[in-house]
Structure formats: structure tokens, C-alpha cells
Amino acid sequence: METKYWNVQDEKIDVNNSKIIAAAEAIRRQETVAFPTETVYGLGADATSHSAVDKIFQAKGRPGDNPLIVHIAKIEQVEQVVEDIPDMALKLMEAFWPGPLTLILNSNGASADNVTAGLSTVGVRIPDHPVAQAMLTASQVPVAAPSANRSGRPSPTTAQHVYDDLAGRVYGIVDCGPTGVGVESTVVDCTGEQAVILRPGGVTKEELEQVVETVSTDSAVENKEEQPKSPGMKYTHYAPNAPFWLVEGSADAMQQEINRLNQDGLNVGVMASEENAAHYQHAIVKSCGSRENLREVAQQIYDVLRTFNRENVDVILGETFTKKGLGVAVMNRLEKASSKIIKI
């Protein structure tokens, strides 16, 4: 299959854009289309069609027990896919939609069973990106969309990332430049008495607590044995080609690990903070942003991990960051990408 490529970066983005219309028509014809959201690029298909959604799983090589998130254009469309909307969920919708927040609600059965992975619940969100908004409006159907990458690889924050992974495997790609948030949406379960975070993301726990009184984090976030209720809970994700190890310790400790690996004859890559990047010697060093600006780090970690795929490195070492605020989401992604954590 030759993948169609629609570049809309310098065009007016609305439901009358001919390329947006073409992408939306492809969705209605049960095809798969990659498109930008404010978090990462998503791979979309008609959420009500089992056969269309199956094309997502085939293109990504995604495990069938890993549920998908349904994307809609307006709050009024939530009722198309859910059974009920608790007051807690409505408050979160009004506060954070459109935006990087997915809510788990009781499904009404309208979504295909491979969207929900056979669960009685479904994840729903409204993305905050003009292309996503226009395409969802024009398609007139709820759209299931995980990240537009091969399963296990770093999520795509540019259309080039999508093309590198999925060219020839999907019907089309809509290119509107780099995404903004850089890490996927926060997933919150609203089916119980309290809001429960299933996946940290672009909306922090502290921000959620300003809207609903009690917010907890599900212990299953780290339990890989259970069937996942949300994407990102069970499987290894976000990994580059070379082994990726996190190093907990000072810049000097990181240099010691670089030296040790060099002595073993290994070429080393380092994903470093802006503050420490110049400190490291005898390694290919790439900065992912400042420790003082975790939004910047979140935007860049996937792109940096992918750039190492073009370098001659045997192992990649990564610095760790605070597990506060957006740092929770950053570290969640780095830990899932890593095969080892070294504490020095």
C-alpha cells in the first residue's frame, strides 16, 4: 500500500480544507489515518467498526488486550459511546477538554469490542489540536486512535516519525508539524466513587485535584500481569533500537558509567538535561531540555530517543528527573522505555 501524505502546515485548518476532507472521507471508508493531536500523532479509524479498528492493530503490531482511546470533537458526542456521565467526569471535561485528558467511563456498546479490548469501559477524550478537531468534525464518527507508531517504539511527535514507522502500513498521514505536549494524555478512571489515574500524562495530579477533591493513582499502573484498563499500563513502550538504561545519580556518576562502558568497547549515547549535557565526555550526547522546564523535556524525550536510532551506539544512558508535577509522566515514559535502572 502506498501511504498518502497530506501536508497542511501552511494552510488554513478547518472542515473545508480539501486535505482534511480527504482524510475524514478515508476514515468513513474504514481506512486508517495518522493525524496530529496536541500530545503525539495518533493513528485513527472509525471506532464503531471492528474491521477498521483491526487495521490499527495490524499496522502497529499492537497486542489485542490493549484498549484504545476514542476521540471526539464535542462534549455532546460523549453520549454516543458511554452509558452515563458522572458529575465528577463532567467537572473534568469542563475543566480540561479539549486537552490531554482521557476519561474512562462505562461503555454503551457503540464502540467496537476491539476498541475496549472486551472491557465494559471505554476511554474518551477531545484533543486540543486544530487538525484533530477539524478531521473529527468532518468524519462525523468517533475515532479510535492510539499513538501512530509501531508498538514498543517511541511515540511519534512529528509526521516524519509516523512515516518512518508506518509508511506502507496505513492509508494516510496528515502532517501539521511537531506536536506540543509531547507525552500522551493523562488517563483517569471515573467509573468509581473517586477519580483514579491509570496513566500519568499532560494533565498533572495536582491540576486534577484543583477540580475534584480526591485523586489517587492506581497500583496497577506498575502491575504488568493484569489486563490493562488503559493504554500504557502493561507493555514495554517508547523504546529506541539500542538498549536504554536510566542512571540515577550525579553527573559524575553518569560519567563513571560512560567510562565503564567505554572500557568494555561499547559506544555510548547519553540523553541528558541541558544543565549536564556539556559535562559528559566520550559519548554521543543529546539534550532533552532543561530540568527547570519539564514541559520542554516532555516535548523532546521521544524525538531524542528516536535520533539515537540514526547513531552508532551500543547502549543509551538517560538521566532521571523529579517525580513531581509533569515529571511523573516524564519518568513513567522513561522507565517504560528502559530495560535497566542503574543506581549509583
Number of structural domains the chain divides into:
2
Binding residues for ATP: 62, 66, 121, 147, 155, 199, 238
In angstroms, rounded to a whole number, what is the distance separating the alpha carbons of residues 123 and 102?
6
CA–CA gap between residue 157 and residue 175 (Å, rounded): 11
| Model-wide pTM > 0.85 | yes
Q: How many CA atoms lie within 13 A of 190 on its CB side?
A: 28
- Residue 219 confidence (pLDDT): 77
Give me the domain span that covers residue 179: 4-222
Give domain status of residue 231, yes or no: no
Q: Tell me the binding residues for L-threonine.
A: 39, 71, 125, 145, 185
- Complete edge-to-edge strand list for the sheet that includes strand 315-319: 284-287, 268-272, 315-319, 244-248, 340-343
Q: Is residue 38 part of a domain?
A: yes
**Is residue 239 in some structural domain?**
no
Q: What per-residue confidence (pLDDT) applies to 306?
A: 96
Tell me what pLDDT residue 233 has: 55
- With respect to residue 230, please indicate whether it lies within any of the assigned structural domains: no
Q: What is the CATH number of the domain that holds 23?
A: 3.90.870.10
Q: Rounded distance, CA 231 to CA 229, Å?
A: 7
Q: What is the pLDDT of residues 297-328, one digit of tens each?
A: 999 999 999 999 999 999 999 999 999 999 99
- The reported pLDDT for the residue numbered 232 is 53
Residue 198: C-alpha distances to residues 209, 299, 333 (Å): 15, 21, 13
156 with 271, same domain: the answer is no
| End residue of a domain, out of 222, 252, 274 | 222
Residue 229 resides in a domain: no
* Binding residue numbers: 39, 62, 66, 71, 121, 125, 145, 147, 155, 185, 199, 238
* SS3 state at 114: helix
Which residues of the chain fall short of a pLDDT of 70? 220-237
pLDDT digits (tens, 9 = 90+) for 28-71: 999 999 999 999 999 999 999 999 999 999 999 998 888 999 99
Whether residue 183 is contained in a domain is answered as yes
pLDDT of residue 1: 86
